[in-house]
């Protein structure tokens, strides 16, 4: 198809198309590509702007921070239970000597182990 005459070949058959139609179609196609590209660019810019202003709860750092806080809370509770248990065991030993010295030392070692774990987690 000739862009100037609209003819399809040397015989002169134009098959109901004109040069203006050919130019308009290509111009329309190019315009739609440009519009599509600019809207895609605008959508991308809007997404990146939203990311800057909205908290990113799914970033690896945020996941790590929340997990570390939960672990610290859990070990804080464990430390309380171990301290209560050690106090109870020491009271049993003082009152009735039901628990021997080795068992008391074992429970006291748990207090030290949990405290060491909490110290590492607080870094």
pLDDT in tens, 25-54: 555 555 555 555 555 555 555 555 555 555
Specify whether 33 is located in the same domain as 9: yes
Specify whether 10 is located in the same domain as 35: yes
Specify whether 28 is located in the same domain as 65: no
Mean pLDDT score, 57-82: 93
Residue 94 pLDDT: 79
Per the CB < 8 A criterion, the answer to whether 85 and 99 are in contact is no
Specify whether 76 is located in the same domain as 41: no
Specify whether 70 is located in the same domain as 49: no
pLDDT range class, residue 17, cuts 50, 70, 90 = very low
Specify whether 69 is located in the same domain as 95: yes
Q: How far apart are CA 36 and CA 49, in angstroms?
A: 20
DSSP tag of 123:
-
Specify whether 21 is located in the same domain as 70: no
| pTM for this model (two decimals) | 0.50
> What's the full length of the chain, in residues?
123
What is the total count of domains within the chain?
2
Mean pLDDT score, 64-70: 93
Specify whether 106 is located in the same domain as 78: yes
Mean pLDDT score, 6-16: 55
Specify whether 82 is located in the same domain as 115: yes
Mean pLDDT score, 97-101: 82
Specify whether 42 is located in the same domain as 65: no
Domain with 71, as residue range(s), is: 60-121
Specify whether 67 is located in the same domain as 24: no
Pick from 85, 87, 61, 80: nearest CA to 118? 80
End-to-end CA distance of the chain: 75
pLDDT range class, residue 111, cuts 50, 70, 90 = very high
Residue 100 pLDDT: 83
Secondary structure (3-state) at 16: coil
Give start and end residues of each alpha helix (H) in the chain: 19-53, 60-96, 101-121
Specify whether 50 is located in the same domain as 75: no
Residue 78 pLDDT: 95
Please report how the helices 60-96 and 101-121 are oriented relative to each other, as an axis angle in degrees rounded to 10.
160
Q: How far apart are CA 33 and CA 27, in angstroms?
A: 10
């Amino acid at each position: 198809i000739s862009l100037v005459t609209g003819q399809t070949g040397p015989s002169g058959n134009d098959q109901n198309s004109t040069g203006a139609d050919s130019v308009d179609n290509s111009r329309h196609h190019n315009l739609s590509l440009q519009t599509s590209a600019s809207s895609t660019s605008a959508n991308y810019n809007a997404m990146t702007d939203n990311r800057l202003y909205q908290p990113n709860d799914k970033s690896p750092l945020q996941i790590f921070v929340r997990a570390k806080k939960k672990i610290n809370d859990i070990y804080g509770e464990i430390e309380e239970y171990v301290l209560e248990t050690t106090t109870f065991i020491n009271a049993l030993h003082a009152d009735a000597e039901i628990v021997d010295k080795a068992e008391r030392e074992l429970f006291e070692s748990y207090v030290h182990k949990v405290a060491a774990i909490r110290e590492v987690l607080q870094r």
